[in-house]
Chains A and B, each alone.
Chain A
């Protein structure tokens, strides 16, 4: 084990302030505000369309009142989830595992958001 002979003040100061953090915190709050109506819309739509078949599902996503909120939901959801999971990873993981997990979270969120949006567009615009 490497001996740490730094003074307590040096250890507390660490590498200095990163100079950012407020913007991320704000983005998390803004996406949360967006998600309140969008997720409630989604839950209500699911309950309302519970018994419709595949044709009904496609018709719902083809209409502007289905497609537009769904795309907005996907963007807001994965942005909020990526920021939230980033914070969770930073809290509990340290070292190389942390950096790998951060990359995985960011790339996974982007991939899922793009896949979801493209799936919606595919359903809405094909056939």
Chain B
């Protein structure tokens, strides 16, 4: 049946099969009527005078296709982040960036804490009380989570910088390891802090 045809002639690259030859992509594109090489002579003089009557009409010239002349509407931009599917690749990457920015803010907090220590016991006690309060502990927990995530994702980035681990299977496995390791390390750190050290 038409819907059940899954023959290999679909041109998918199978493992071990010879790679498809690089065809002359430009030749097939020109045969397909690629518009950026439009031929001004193709528009007949009669058609041109007809289009001149209509307002805001992109003309058959290279300049108009490249950029809008005054009065001509710019081409719409197709949606990107609004419709592109979140995958482990992009989600972990934006997570690394968001946790990085949060840790930058945490760096400010670190300097505040050290400065309070330098200012004396009273200032230090104030900062410590804020940290030990319920909202302070919640912030600290989330901060620890962000830290361990950025650490694990950062190590994954360093692995990539040695040009290892780029096969999709390894990308996915290392990605899940990052997620689980950051959760586990956060829980372990807090468990040791709350139960072992008291």
Contacts and interface: CB of A to CB of B under 8 A. Distances in A.
A81 B69 CA distance: 43
Nearest to B162: A29
B68 to A, nearest CB: 7
29 contacts: A1-B68, A4-B67, A5-B66, A5-B67, A7-B66, A8-B66, A33-B158, A36-B151, A40-B151, A43-B144, A43-B147, A50-B197, A51-B198, A54-B121, A57-B124, A58-B117, A77-B110, A78-B107, A84-B100, A84-B101, A112-B108, A112-B111, A115-B111, A116-B111, A116-B114, A119-B114, A119-B115, A122-B118, A123-B114
A62 B69 CA distance: 69
Contacts of B147: 39, 43
Nearest to A33: B158
Given A47-B193, A61-B117, A85-B101, 9 more contacts: A32-B158, A36-B155, A54-B121, A77-B107, A77-B110, A78-B107, A81-B103, A112-B108, A116-B110
Interface string B110-135: 11001101100100110000000000
B interface SS class: helix
A65 interface: no
Nearest to A87: B97
A13 interface: no
Contact of B189 (A4, A47, A81): A47
B161 interface: yes
